[in-house]
Amino acid sequence: MPRSVDRHRLITTEDLDRFVLVSDPQISPDGRQLLLTRRHVGEKNEYLGNLWVVAADGNSPPRQFTSGDHDGQGRWSPDGSRVAFVSTRDKRRPQLLLIDTAGGEATALTRFPEGNIEGFSWSPDSQSIAVSFRETDPDRTLEAEQERERTGATTPPWEIDGMFYRLDGDGYFGSQRPRLYLVDLSTGDHRLLFARGSAASFSFDWSPDSSELLVATNVSREPLLTPWKDVIFRVNAAKGRAEKIPGLPDGWKTAVRYSPDGRRVLFAGREGRETWGVRNTHLFSCRRDGSDLVDLTGHTDFCLSAVTLSDTAEASFGVHYEFTPDGRHVFLNFGWHGATVIATVPIDGGPVRLLTCGPESAVMGNLSSDGKRMAVCSGDAVNLPEAGVAEVRGGRRLEDLEPRQLTDFNGPLLETLELSVPDEHWIESDSGIRVQCWVMQPPGQRRRKRPAVLQIHGGPHALYGTTFFHEFQVLAAAGYIVVFSNPRGSKGYGEDHCTAIQGRWGEADWADVQAVTSLMQQHPDIDSKRIGIMGGSYGGYMTNWAIGHTDVFAAAITDRCVSNLVSMAGSSDYPLVPGEYWPGNPWDDNEEIWRQSPIRCIRQVTTPTLVIHSEGDLRCNIEQGEQVYSALKMLGVPTRFVRYPRETSHGMSRGGPPDMRRHRLGEILAWWKQHLR
């Protein structure tokens, strides 16, 4: 539960190295132990992670369960005797390891070649494990590199025939794709089971009797252009024979699962053609033959892929749900009104009920075999996530959940810190639209007129909320009032709120940002002449847009930005599909995307601007930041450009190298000190 905020010193950029990041809680089948992944920054500027366990009754302290420094994704075997986990102790050859529930040394199970393990799942009979694995391109293996070094050969070119050959944070992989393998628990041998599919990932699940698996995957030759061409296969576990489930409509499909009785297939997704995920993600149910398709959440305005952003947890846009053991209810986890909530829906149809609510955010893990305990990670704006359990009570109507915290890894640090508690506001924008926003005052300091910073989130189809945000707390500790909001385009407020900016950036979203700016200008504690604006990704887009349309901001920081939609259309790992999200195309029908490009209005900018970008950013290529910097320099606007190395990516502020993250925060503080203080 959230602790008191009566603390002693102000937070610093260096506190990043003191955080303990807790994630992926998994309750044991008997409900007695909680498994979790614990990560922290090590001495050599890297994140170290291992598995820990804690008694679910809270009667004993957490203890380290695995000895490796790069362990994660721990999963109990269904019989509760063992835990399988992914270890990247050899970073180029991750493997599955097994460890007995009673403890001891872990042993390597698999012998995969170089590559990536995307995910895995125990068979219900505990006899085998299904693994999604992508092998490294033969020309990019360590052996191939060493051979070139020995012979003096040049690194070979990528020979590319499709549009999908790279992914931000994952790098370049050419034509390599993940495939589904079965691993024999007795020998560790793996055999290829399913090799269809063309996307970066697929979802899969075992049937209750362990005889077959469901696989939801994209079968298009160009999955980036046609993400709605997802299909679901039933794959025989013994022979690998795959049978497509017929009759399902076109649309994105993920998180495929069997119901506990094996009679129905559930999956999350959207019907119809769509490329950017602006419409709500629903939960669907059908029979194994594809008949009797039911949209279990379509009568609500919830989106199951709404993600609450933070810089102390990696953003995951996946969908997660869990069944009660009797199969009568499904637990759902999604962002709503600035918090990550847990909800429930009857599998036979009925209302969706929220079982938790803000300001605390609760990220769901799994359930014990009897369904009486749920694994949960929970936190809020002044408490980093910690692991715990929630007791599941009720029959046909499940009771509200009250997570009970079992770890307190960050407690000793947090007890020493004075942190800012966000003050929630709902303001009115144009046409009576209500926008949720938060104001963070400098902690422990006398109220007076102060400079302020407006933060704009990325996505744009995500949301800010009451999660622990190190960057926000550091700015507040430095004496700035921090304001953040969820303008139209954000998730977590219904489909109309999100789709309001589809193909129309710089309109409804800009109206809402102006409304939040007006709140800041009228706030009794904010000096209206010393307001800055900043954001990353789409937040960088909106920062660029703002300074090209107003001079009310004293300074700006545009981070990993979008500036020119015409050039971004061909330089991003996710292309702008002609006529889908935006009208027209980027080559000969680009009037609309050019009109919505901030670089078009760069001549009007007079605001001093710091440009931050990573050379390894494959989502918003660094040329987007370069265009802003070069234009502002030529126009004589005070400008600084900080380029982070190729080893960093689009998500550097959340999961980049610790020293680069600290450096970035230092640059931000220095820029605001120069222009706002």
Query: What CA–CA distances, in Å, run from 579 to 495, 572, 593, 604?
Result: 20, 17, 11, 30
- Whether 440 maps to a domain, the answer reads yes
Q: What is the pLDDT of residues 468-512, one digit of tens each?
A: 999 999 999 999 999 999 999 999 999 999 999 999 999 999 999
| 363 located within any domain | no
Q: Residue 446's pLDDT band (boundaries 50, 70, 90)?
A: confident
* DSSP annotation of 675: H
The verdict on residue 567 lying in a domain is yes
Contact (Cβ atoms closer than 8 angstroms) between residue 333 and residue 280: no
Q: Helix/strand/coil (H, E, C) string of 10-40?
A: ECCHHHHHHCCEEEEEEECCCCCEEEEEEEE
Give the pLDDT of residue 6. 56
Tell me 307's DSSP state: -
Of 595, 601, 633, 626, nearest to 611 (Cα)?
Answer: 626
Distance CA 429, CA 516 (A): 8
Distance CA 596, CA 69 (A): 46
Is residue 287 included in any domain, yes or no? no
Distances from the Cα of 278 to the Cαs of 461, 485, 498, 502, in angstroms?
7, 18, 6, 7
Residue 1 scores a pLDDT above 50 = no
Say yes or no to pLDDT of 232 above 90: yes
- Give the pLDDT score at 29: 98
182-195 burial: b if 16+ Cβ within 10 Å, else e = bbebeebebeebbe
Task: Write the pLDDT tens digit of every residue in 363-390.
Answer: 999 999 999 999 999 999 999 999 999 9
In a domain, 598, yes or no: yes
- In sequence order, the β-bridge partners of residue 98 are 84, 107
- Buried b / exposed e over 149-179, threshold 16 CB at 10 Å, is eeeeeeeeeeeeeeebbbbbbeeebbebbbb
- 451 and 527 Cβ atoms separated by less than 8 Å: yes
Q: Express each pLDDT in 571-629 by its tens digit.
A: 999 999 999 999 999 999 999 999 999 999 999 999 999 999 999 999 999 999 999 99
Q: Residue 307 and residue 295: Cα distance in Å, rounded?
A: 21
Residues 129, 42: Cα–Cα separation, whole Å = 32
Confidence of residue 3 (pLDDT cuts 50, 70, 90): low
Residue range(s) defining the domain that contains residue 630: 417-676
- The answer, yes or no, to whether residue 142 has pLDDT greater than 70, is yes
Residue 438 scores a pLDDT above 50: yes
The residue-averaged pLDDT of 16-20 equals 98
Distances (CA, A) of 332 to 86, 301, 315: 26, 14, 17
Q: How many domains does the chain have?
A: 1
Residue 627 counted as domain residue: yes
pLDDT above 70 coverage of the chain, percent: 99
Q: How far apart are CA 383 and CA 377, in angstroms?
A: 11
pLDDT of residue 315: 65
Q: Are 242 and 195 in contact (CB under 8 A)?
A: no
CATH number of domain containing 424 = 3.40.50.1820
Q: State the DSSP string of 491-527.
A: SSS-HHHHHTTTT-TTSHHHHHHHHHHHHHHH-TTEE
What's the CA gap between 399 and 392, in Å, rounded?
7
What is residue 152's DSSP assignment? T
Q: Per-residue pLDDT tens for 603-617?
A: 999 999 999 999 999
* Both structure tokens of 553: 């901001």
| Measured distance CA(405)–CA(75) in Å, rounded | 20
Domain assignment present for residue 138? The answer is no
Write the pLDDT tens digit of every residue in 305-362. 999 999 997 667 789 999 999 999 999 999 999 999 999 999 999 999 999 998 999 9
Residues 442 and 483 sit within 8 Å (Cβ to Cβ):
no
User: Both ends of the chain: CA-CA distance in Å?
Assistant: 36
Question: How far is Cα 93 from Cα 88, in angstroms, rounded to an integer?
Answer: 7
Omega before residue 78 within 30° of 0, cis: no
Asked if residue 79 belongs to a domain, the reply is: no
